[in-house]
């Protein structure tokens, strides 16, 4: 979740600054096309959007994986 660090509160010791964006509290979600991305989103507590234009065949199982982990 390196990206969260860039848009979180400013940290003087950070060698990279997001301009504009530093200090914003923007919602972060994950767009993915596999069960791995669904699992990652669920484990990080992020919203998940499935990229069905890449691999429609994995959509149902990926969504199931996401909700199973969210339920834990």
Judge whether residue 59 has pLDDT over 80: yes
The model's confidence at residue 54, banded by pLDDT at 50, 70 and 90, is confident
pTM of the model: 0.76
- Domain assignments of the chain as residue spans, ordered by start: 2-70
- Report pLDDT digits (tens) over 9-44: 877 887 877 777 777 878 899 999 999 999 999 999
Q: Which of 19, 28, 22, 29 is nearest to 8 (CA)?
A: 22
Q: How high is the pLDDT of residue 1?
A: 64
Residue with the two structure tokens 């660090």: 5
């Amino acid at each position: 979740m390196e990206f969260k660090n860039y848009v979180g509160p400013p940290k003087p010791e950070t060698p990279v600054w997001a301009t504009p964006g530093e200090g914003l509290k923007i919602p972060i979600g994950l767009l993915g096309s596999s069960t791995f991305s669904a699992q990652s989103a669920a484990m990080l507590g992020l919203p998940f959007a499935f990229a069905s234009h890449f691999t429609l065949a994995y959509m149902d199982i990926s969504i199931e994986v996401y909700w199973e982990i969210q339920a834990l």
